[in-house]
Chains A and B, each alone.
Chain A
Amino acid sequence: MKKLIFIILLKVLFLNKSYALIEVDITRGNLDPLPIAVSPLHVDIQSKDYKDINIKELGNNISEIIENNFKATGLFNPLKKEAFVQKPDIAHLKPRFEDWRLIKAQALVTGKLLIIDGKLKVEFRLWDLAAAKEMTALAFTTTPSNWRRVAHIISDKIYERLTGEEGYFDTRIIYVAESGPKSQRVKKLAIMDQDGAKVKYLTLGNELVLTPRFNPTNQMVTYMSYFRNMPRVYLLDIETGTQEVVGNFPGMTFAPRFSPDGKKIVMSFAKDGNSDIFTMNLETRVVERITDHSSIDTSPSFSPDGKFIAFNSDRSGLQQIYVMRSDGSNVKRITFGNGIYGTPVWSPRGDLIAFTKMRKGKFYIGVMRTDGTGERLLTENFYQEAPSWSPNGRVIVFYRETKAGLKGEGFTAKLWSIDITGYNERQLKTETDASDPSWSSLLSK
């Protein structure tokens, strides 16, 4: 009992003491990219070359991919390797923090790799240089040909540790690869890593393909293709390459989007001459009507909790964005600005809706809150559309057509990405012209 009273008295004294503190409020900081040093990964001497993979170069290659990923975010500033002060193997054991601080780095990535018995083992450490401590350390074992993915996964882990957000590097983007003149355009389905590497063409280009969409839960896509001039929806498993027909939908202009659980698709097509919104259960193939209105309702998109659907409608005269419950009730118009709004896409975080806006002959990609407030136009151009979110809801990818040729007679279509802050707009490199991008969820999830 005496002890208790003593403790309470101590606490009282302590509290009184804490009041004597001077407090200083820090409400601002700098938004400059964080200086980070990515040391080349140390290659263990026991390693042997594996097939066509040059093990000596692998350490450099992986660190280069990590560096490029960070640079592309606009949030990090990878420092030049010439300035590095320690050899990779020693740095990986225990960096000399004060030396690394001298080159103005705030974080350091070190690593080690080894190929033994046909397996690639990569470990990495992230160091907080100011606090002189390790922030995270992980090791991965995989087949050596997967080294690129390992680099992306490491990037994700570091990004997550430093920003508090999930990363988006171990992802892929599916798009429509275009070639040829406008009248005889060849459109193929293509897929690549988010950094533009490992491009793979999924269709031959005999038939026109449009608007591929990723399933948020796995690596399945839906896309639309014309079969005997009839729009047909396909379901494609990217891992296995198997493909099936979902159905023929006359009067369809966009491919369906998946529900957040991946079990349903939501789409719009014309029935009895009027376009409305429908869902289809992929297991039972039962189609359910969601809207029944004399106006044209198109491009529906589920909210990540599956409770709401955002869509386009011209029921007020001009095409605007509406939100309703997923059963079709409680329809609410959310855009009231000047111009025409289209292609609403709900952010995977659930807080924003991305859209395309057309006004006075210009196209804008923008975001707004889900109630329509806080509209921000991120980018303006002559023609651009089809926004798609990165899985962490931080970056938007879209495509932009620009005039090409000396006299502006032709045009090129390219994929672009932009941060939701409106900064860091950059073009994604693709072999051919590209349109209709769709960003996958994290592969390693």
Chain B
Amino acid sequence: MGRSLIYSLTFHALMILLTILSLPFMLREPIDLPAIVSVELIQISDKTSIPYAPKARKIIEETKKEEKRLVSEQAPPSAKAKEKPDRIPLPNEKKEEKKIVKKKQNPEEVKPEIRQSSEFEKKEIVDTNQIAALIDKAKEEEAVKQKKSDKITQSNKKNSFATGLTLSEEDALRAQIFGCWSVPLGLPYDEDLLVRIKLNLKKDGMIMKSEILDHQRMNKPGQKFYKVLAESALRAVRLCQPLKVPPTGYDKWKEIQLNFNPTEMLRG
């Protein structure tokens, strides 16, 4: 009694384990989101109404000083000395000031001023070192995610740089097989037409072994078309030999699965 109970429990546990490991739909796909780039939408008014924060003001003043210093280094100090804040403006200059005020009312012409202020803001927000750090972090996260997904999901495998073929390598292979595959025309439109072929390849792209994964379906009654389709796919692969495979990374692509499905093409 006790022994059989243990057997039963072990077997059930194994079955559950097997189910979890083998049924892909049981697995939750890790959310593979790209690194978030936040974008703030700002409505630009004629004049900013937000007073500079004390910290910002300090920074602005500092940068102004720096600019002044820079200017003073480049230009003769005499020119700067002319601009005295407490000097009474001349009538001509007053007119100019008025003009500027008018310009401020016109949103199109005020742009340079707005840009100036936004530049200050940027200077406050954007810190290139921080961005570099962020990018590095994002890379790390992506790498971790890829590693995770490599272990678990099947769909993420496709087109993945880490696992085998790059997109261009995959496209080259696909284009090669497109040319070799004569699609049989008597296929029914409303049946499942997916043929999966697993290939074991040599380093030069020649086929060592080919296997139709759903071969038991070939001899089922009413599935005659499937046999024809599977054979045509196999013929295509053989005609295409040697397959266009990358010169490196043999271990990654020595086993490859081709999923032939003409449904899209037949429906036009």
Instruction: Assess whether B228 is in contact with A26, with CB atoms less than 8 Å apart.
Output: no
With A128-B231, A164-B184, A164-B187 already in contact, the answer to whether A21 and B7 are too (CB < 8 A) is: no
Residues of A with C-beta under 8 A to B238: 130-131
Q: State whether A162 and B259 are in contact (beta carbons under 8 Å apart), knowing that A12-B22, A131-B234 are contacts in the complex.
A: no
The docked-state distance in angstroms from the alpha carbon of A399 to that of B109 is 77
Q: Does B262 contact A (CB under 8 A)?
A: yes
Partner of B262, one of A20, A29, A32, A161: A29
Tell yes or no: B206 within 8 A of A by CB. Answer: no
Query: Is B236 an interface residue when CB atoms closer than 8 A count as contact?
Result: yes
Q: Which of B163, B177, B235 contacts A130 (CB 8 A)?
A: B235
The chain B residue sitting closest to A421, CB to CB, is: B185
Residues of B with C-beta under 8 A to A261: none
Residue of A nearest to B10 (CB): A5
Chain A, Cβ-Cβ closest to B195? A26
Smallest CB gap from A165: residue in B: B186
Quick check: is B79 within 8 A (CB to CB) of the other chain?
A: no
Complex contact B183–A29 (CB within 8 A): yes
A163 at interface, CB cutoff 8 A: yes
B184 contacts A163, C-beta separation under 8 Å = yes
CA distance A106 to B237 in the complex (A): 12
Determine whether A71 belongs to the interface, using a CB cutoff of 8 Å to chain B: no
Decide yes or no whether A8 CB sits under 8 A from chain B.
yes
A30-B178 in contact given A131-B231, A164-B227 (Cβ < 8 Å): yes
Instruction: For chain A, residues 1 to 29, give those with C-beta under 8 angstroms from any C-beta of chain B.
Output: 1, 5, 8, 11-12, 15-16, 19-29
Contact A24 B18, beta carbon cutoff 8 Å: no
* Stretch of B41-49, B83-91, B248-256 with 4 or more beta carbons under 8 angstroms from chain A: B248-256
| Of the residues B154, B233, B235, B263, contact of A128 by C-beta under 8 Å | B235
Majority-rule SS of B interface residues: helix
The complex places the Cα of A288 from the Cα of B181 at a distance, in Å, of 53
Contacting pair A32 B264 (CB below 8 A): no
Q: Which chain B residue lies CB-closest to A160?
A: B224
Q: How far is the CB of A272 from chain B (nearest CB, A)?
A: 44
Query: How far apart sit A31 and B266, CA to CA, in the bound complex (Å)?
Result: 10
Q: Which residue of A lies closest to B224 (CB)?
A: A164
* Contact A30-B231, Cβ < 8 Å, known A15-B22, A164-B224: no
Interface string of B177-205 (1 = CB under 8 A from A): 11111111111000000000010000000
A161 — which chain B residues lie within 8 A by C-beta?
228
Contact with B along A97-110 (1 / 0, CB 8 A): 00001000010000
For the complex formed, measure the closest distance between the CB of B160 and the CB atoms of chain A, giving whole angstroms.
9
Provide the A158-179 mask, 1 if CB < 8 A to any CB of B, else 0.
0011111100000000000000
Is A75 located at the chain interface by the 8 A CB criterion?
A: yes
Cα–Cα, bound, A43→B258 (Å): 43
Interface residues of B in 230-245 (CB under 8 A from A): 231-236, 238-239
Is B158 part of the contact surface with A, judged by Cβ < 8 Å? yes
**B181 touches which one: A29, A75, A163 (CB < 8 A)?**
A29
Q: Which residues of B contact A1 (CB under 8 A)?
A: 7
Residues of the A chain whose Cβ atoms lie less than 8 Å from the Cβ of B231? 128, 131, 135
Q: How far is the CA of A442 from the CA of B262 in the complex (A)?
A: 29
Contacts of A131 in B (CB 8 A): 231, 234-235, 238
Residues of A contacting B10 in the complex (Cβ-Cβ under 8 angstroms): 5
Q: Is A334 an interface residue (CB 8 A)?
A: no
A148 at the B interface (CB under 8 A): no
Chain B residues near A26 (CB-CB < 8 A): 174, 177-178, 181, 233, 236, 258-261
Q: Which of A120-173 contact B (CB under 8 A)?
A: 128, 130-131, 135, 160-165
Question: B228 contacts A162, CB within 8 Å?
Answer: yes
Answer whether residue A34 sits at the interface, using C-beta atoms and an 8 A cutoff: yes
CA distance A106 to B173 in the complex (A): 21
Residues of the B chain whose Cβ atoms lie less than 8 Å from the Cβ of A165: 186, 225
Q: Whole-angstrom distance between the alpha carbons of A407 and B174 in the complex? A: 56
Take A23-B158, A34-B182, A106-B239 as given contacts and tell me if A29 and B265 are in contact as well, using a CB distance cutoff of 8 Å.
yes
Given contacts A23-B259, A164-B225, contact A8 B18 (CB under 8 A): yes
CA distance A106 to B186 in the complex (A): 18
Are the CB atoms of B181 and A394 closer together than 8 Å?
Answer: no
Q: Which residues in B have their C-beta under 8 angstroms from that of A21?
A: 157, 198, 255-257
B153-178 contacts to A, CB under 8 A, are 154, 157-158, 163-165, 170, 173-174, 177-178
Residues of A372-417 whose CB lies within 8 A of B = 392, 394
Inter-subunit contact A5/B229 (CB<8 Å)? no
Q: Is B21 an interface residue (CB 8 A)?
A: yes
Chain A residues with Cβ under 8 A from B1's Cβ? Answer: none
| Given A23-B257, A162-B184, A28:B235 Cβ within 8 A | no
Instruction: Note all chain B residues with C-beta closer than 8 A to A25.
Output: 158, 174, 259, 261
User: Which of B170, B187, B227 is A24 in contact with, Cβ under 8 Å?
Assistant: B170
Q: How far is the CB of A162 from chain B (nearest CB, A)?
A: 7
Q: Given A19-B154, A25-B261 in contact, is the A31-B183 Cβ separation under 8 Å?
A: yes
Instruction: Enumerate 29 A-B pairs (CB-CB under 8 Å) in ascending A order.
Output: A12-B21, A21-B255, A22-B158, A22-B163, A22-B253, A23-B158, A24-B165, A24-B258, A25-B261, A26-B174, A26-B258, A26-B259, A27-B261, A27-B262, A28-B262, A29-B181, A29-B232, A29-B236, A29-B260, A30-B179, A128-B235, A130-B238, A163-B186, A164-B184, A164-B186, A164-B224, A164-B225, A164-B226, A392-B186
Given contacts A12-B22, A130-B239, 20 further A-B contacts (CB under 8 A): A11-B18, A11-B22, A19-B157, A21-B198, A22-B163, A22-B253, A22-B255, A23-B157, A23-B259, A24-B173, A24-B177, A24-B257, A25-B259, A26-B177, A26-B178, A29-B183, A31-B185, A163-B186, A164-B225, A392-B186
- The 4 A-B pairs with the shortest beta carbon distances in the complex, nearest first, are A29-B181, A165-B186, A164-B228, A164-B225
